[in-house]
Amino acid sequence: MVHQHFKLIEVFTVLDNIILGAEDTKLGFVQRKAARKKVEELSKRYGLNVDLDAKVENITVGMQQRVEILKMLYRDNEILIFDEPTAVLTPQEIVELMQIMKGLAKEGKSILFISHKLNEIMEVSDRVSVLRKGKYIGTVNTQDTTAAELSRMMVGHDVQLVVDKAPAQPGETVLKVTDLHVASRLYKHDAVKGVSFEVRKGEIVCIAGIDGNGQSELVFGLSGLEKCSGGKIEINGVDITHAPIRKRSEAGISHIPEDRHKHGLVLDFTLEQNFVLQTFEQPRFQHMGFIKFGDIRKYSERLIEEYDVRSGQGSITMARSMSGGNQQKAIIAREIDRDLPLLLAVQPTRGLDVGAIENIHRQIVAQRDEGKAVLLVSLELDEVMNLSDRILVMYEGEIVGELDPKQTTVEELGLYMAGAKRQDRKKEASA
């Protein structure tokens, strides 16, 4: 089984990772030489190129995936399970993986491919079984079905796969970022190296890129979770580069964070407490330091009603006990309802089902149409292509391209994301 999150030991070599759990031993000693020969044979036969002596922490995600596949082949398994294997790959790596999977099937292996990405399912599978809310819905032959039909089976009603939206009408600049540098938490170098861009009223700007190319740090820099080591951030002309988080929030950033458990909610607070995390200090929720519980309850009930946040006990539900989709809805309700000029949405649909995704996309577009500036950070290419009015591609901490989603293709976007192609933005700006 290839797990969604790879099950690899980072400090072990590739070879050790492959044989771990199925080691051949002589007198208790691991026989690495024989194992190496077998792995080399397998990797040649299936075209899975890996560096056996490298440590897993130093190899690319694509190679880690090949290691996972080799792990299964080393055990002579006949049934291979892939659990959302494409989430962390570039489009090129996805194509490569699809070819490997087809090759394996040809060799006589059975493959169980778990995914919610319809285009991948349509491309690679022979038969599709749909599960919805833990129930088996049905099995169809891929040839006889369409993406629309599959999504209907997945959600239970018709889903618009493409977001309907009018052309953007950008107004004046809301967010202006100039030459921003943010240090990486893990390493000594900067994770964001001199990024400049603008987001204007009434447009959705999307930052695309493969996970780990500085997007998270950029968002941390903007939201104040991490100090900027250089550059300037302005909101409506106000410099907030060194402002504390609360000041930024008051200056006009609403933030849907990447990790809803870590930065979005206090999991052991109730839903209503989570709704007023940033606003409880305002006079409408407190008087002389005492919290007006009645008003908070009323506010919370309104949000639950308006944004259809479902939970076991309404306002007094513990955030921890809610489903991921409803937790996300709660965060979106809170952030959108604060009605601030800039919406910073980081992977707002991560881990949600097709129905919830559609709903969230619609709300983001609605925000744009109301004249908000939206900065969307996403790893999902479909989301990037569908939702954005402008795409900025980040690679190794820099913005390497600015694309128009109407004129570009997923393949071109992939080349930028992998660093194979880049625009010289500074030259363009001056020209």
Partner 1 sequence: MPFLIRQTLVYAVPLMLVALAGVFAERSGIINLALEGIMIFGAFMGVLFVRTVQEWGWFQPAYDAGNILGLQGFCFLAMLFAAAMGALFSLLLAFAAINLKADQTIGGTALNLLAPAVVLFFIRIIANQNTLNMYKGDAASWFMLKKSMFGYGRKEEMNFLGSTFVDKVYVATYICILVFIVMSIILYKTRFGMRLRSCGENPQASASLGINVVKMRYAGTVISGALAGMGGFVYVLTTANCSANGDVAGFGFLALAVMIFGNWKPLNICLAALLFGLFKCVAASYSTLDINGDGVYLLKNLNINTNIYRMLPYVITLIVLAFTSKSSRAPKAEGIPYDPGKR
**Which residues of this protein are in contact with partner 1, per CB under 8 A?**
1, 3-12, 16, 20-23, 25, 28-30, 71
Cα 17–23–29 angle (5° rounding)?
110
Q: Which is nearer to partner 1, 29 or 290 (CB)?
A: 29
Least Å from the CB of residue 29 to partner 1? 5
* Residue 20 or 410 with smaller CB distance to partner 1: 20
- Tell me which DSSP letter residue 314 carries: G
Q: Which is nearer to partner 1, 81 or 137 (CB)?
A: 81
Rounded CA separation 332/309 (Å): 10
Kindly tell me which of 16 and 203 has the beta carbon lying closer to partner 1. 16
What's the closest the beta carbon of residue 33 comes to partner 1, in angstroms?
Answer: 13
CA distance 268 to 274: 9
Q: How far is the CB of 347 from partner 1 (least distance, A)?
A: 17
- The distance of closest approach from Cβ of residue 23 to partner 1 in the complex, given in angstroms and rounded to an integer, is 5
- For partner 1, give the closer residue by CB, 2 or 208: 2
233: left (phi over 0), alpha (psi -120 to 50) or beta: beta
Q: Is residue 108 within 8 Å of residue 56, measured between CB atoms?
A: no
CB atoms within 10 A of CB 296: 21
- Shortest distance in whole angstroms from residue 320 CB to partner 1: 15
C-alpha distances out from residue 7 to 50, 68, 99, Å:
17, 8, 22
Q: Which amino acid is at 404?
A: D
Rank residues 64 and 249 by Cβ distance to partner 1 and give the closer one.
64
The CB-of-27 to partner 1 minimum distance in angstroms stands at 9
CB of 72 to partner 1, least distance (A): 11
Task: Identify any residues that bridge with 190 across adjacent strands, giving them in sequence order.
Answer: 183
State which residue, 267 or 418, has the beta carbon closest to partner 1. 267
Phi, psi values for residue 356, rounded to 5°: -65, -35
* Cα(358)–Cα(310) distance, integer angstroms: 17
Q: Which is nearer to partner 1, 73 or 207 (CB)?
A: 73
Whole-angstrom CA distances from 419 to 87, 118, 206, 399 are 18, 26, 18, 10
Q: Is the dihedral of CA 25, 31, 36, 41 positive or negative?
A: negative
CA distance readout (Å), 291 to 238, 247, 282, 286: 31, 21, 10, 4
Give the residue with the Cβ less far from partner 1, 10 or 281. 10
CB of residue 334 to partner 1, shortest distance in Å: 27
Contact residues for 120 (Cβ-Cβ < 8 A; gap 6+)? 86, 94, 98, 113
Query: How many Cα atoms sit within 13 Å of 177 on the Cβ side?
Result: 23
**Min dist. Cβ of residue 198 to partner 1 (A):** 38
Cα angle value 118/333/202 (rounded, 5°): 75
